[in-house]
């Protein structure tokens, strides 16, 4: 997947701002940015399905919440567990769940795919909601963050908010680079072909079911990474993390930021969380303002916030061309 030089420069500037922000921002806003980055990873994983594979999942939060619950289950009450055990356990568990759900779901398309993914997510939601051993509707606390060390030597102290911040930042950048590399590979071009015309892609000899299933599993696993980070950061997981409302919220982030761009959903996540915090300070009816903002973006920015970046780039390109044309006309 090719990214223009201007967009790359802009992304690097944003990365530089994020890198220095913990040293200049207040602790509340540093914590808020951590939440934004986690949701950015979550939104990118859904963009792989919606923006590139053409699979509109309304149950993507199932993998986000499941991974957090797996972290809570594997973490004992007596003390922390090494991250070398906790992270693979959560990601493998989430990947297996995505494999099972995807095996049934990707056989369908359109509204049937949407409803099937929603049904599986609601099944997991009610399982955890009714399970009193896991806290029921109140959720479950994660009292200890995993340790990062080798042979009794601590490499990273995740209880330090600076360390946690940069761990999430590295995870965000790593997820973006992984997905960008994946989408630049032959696999990425095939799933784009599935999105554009699945019948023609199948006629060319590709097993579209397998490609869609692999894409579904990858997206679910990256959503699991976001859920793992959310469990570590927040220290509590509840059935709401798996509900349809959470799936709708992350889908809104993808739409706001711009589907099929990877960085767009991250921008959408930042915008959604920032506006929610701002609107809540303005009025208790903040949902009305948020809804109005979403409607305005859909009507006037069909390509999302990322579309503004592309529009600005195109206008800058036209300026030299216009000047050259005027000079030639003057001659």
Range of 83's domain? 5-330
Give the pLDDT of residue 63.
Answer: 96
What are 37-51's pLDDT values in tens digits? 999 999 999 999 999
Give the three-state DSSP class for 99: helix
Q: What is the pLDDT along the chain (331 residues), one digit of tens a residue?
A: 456 677 788 889 999 999 999 999 888 999 999 999 999 999 999 999 999 999 999 999 999 999 999 999 999 888 889 999 999 999 999 999 999 999 999 999 889 999 999 999 999 999 999 998 888 989 999 999 999 988 778 888 888 889 999 999 999 999 999 999 999 999 999 999 999 999 999 999 999 999 999 999 999 999 999 999 999 999 999 999 998 889 999 999 998 988 888 999 999 999 999 998 888 888 888 888 888 888 888 888 878 888 777 676 666 666 555 455 555 555 5
List the beta bridge partners of residue 141.
236
Q: What is the CATH number of the domain that holds 211?
A: 1.10.3470
Global pTM reads: 0.91
The dihedrals phi and psi of 149, each to the nearest 5 degrees, come to -160, 170
Q: Are 13 and 320 in contact (CB under 8 A)?
A: no
Give the three-state DSSP class for 203: helix
Give the pLDDT of residue 313.
Answer: 64
The 8 Å CB, 24+ separation contacts for 293-296 are 294/252, 294/255, 294/256
List the beta bridge partners of residue 147.
82
Give the pLDDT of residue 99.
Answer: 97
How many domains does the chain divide into? 1
Give the pLDDT of residue 317.
Answer: 65
What are 154-205's pLDDT values in tens digits? 888 888 889 999 999 999 999 999 999 999 999 999 999 999 999 999 999 9
């Amino acid at each position: 997947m090719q990214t223009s030089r201007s967009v790359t420069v802009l992304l690097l500037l944003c990365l530089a701002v994020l890198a220095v922000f913990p040293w200049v921002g207040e602790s509340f806003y540093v914590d808020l940015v951590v939440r934004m980055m986690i949701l950015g990873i979550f939104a990118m994983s859904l963009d792989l399905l919606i923006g590139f594979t053409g699979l509109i999942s309304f149950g993507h939060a199932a993998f986000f919440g499941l991974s957090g619950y797996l972290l809570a289950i594997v973490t004992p009450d007596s003390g922390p567990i090494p991250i070398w055990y906790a992270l693979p356990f959560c990601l493998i568990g989430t990947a297996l769940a995505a494999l099972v759900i995807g095996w049934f779901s990707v056989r369908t398309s359109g509204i049937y795919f949407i409803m099937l993914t929603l049904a599986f997510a609601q099944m997991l939601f009610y399982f955890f909601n009714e399970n009193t051993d896991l806290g029921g509707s109140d959720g479950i606390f994660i009292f200890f963050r995993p340790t990062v060390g080798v042979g009794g030597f601590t490499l990273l102290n995740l209880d330090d908010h600076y360390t946690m911040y940069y761990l999430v930042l590295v995870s965000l950048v790593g997820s973006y680079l992984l997905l960008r590399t994946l989408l630049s590979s032959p696999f990425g071009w095939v799933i784009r072909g599935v999105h554009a015309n699945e019948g023609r892609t199948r006629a060319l000899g590709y097993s579209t079911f397998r490609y869609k299933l692999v894409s579904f599993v990858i997206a679910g696993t990256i959503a699991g990474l976001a859920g793992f980070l959310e469990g570590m950061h927040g220290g509590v997981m509840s059935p709401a993390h798996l509900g349809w409302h959470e799936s709708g919220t992350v889908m809104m982030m993808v739409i706001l930021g711009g589907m099929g761009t990877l960085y767009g959903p991250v921008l959408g996540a930042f915008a959604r969380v920032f506006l929610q915090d701002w609107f809540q300070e303005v009025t208790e009816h903040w949902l009305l303002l948020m809804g109005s903002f979403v409607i305005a973006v859909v009507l006037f920015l069909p390509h999302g916030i990322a579309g503004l970046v592309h529009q600005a780039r195109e206008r800058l390109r036209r300026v030299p061309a216009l000047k050259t044309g005027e000079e030639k006309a003057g001659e």
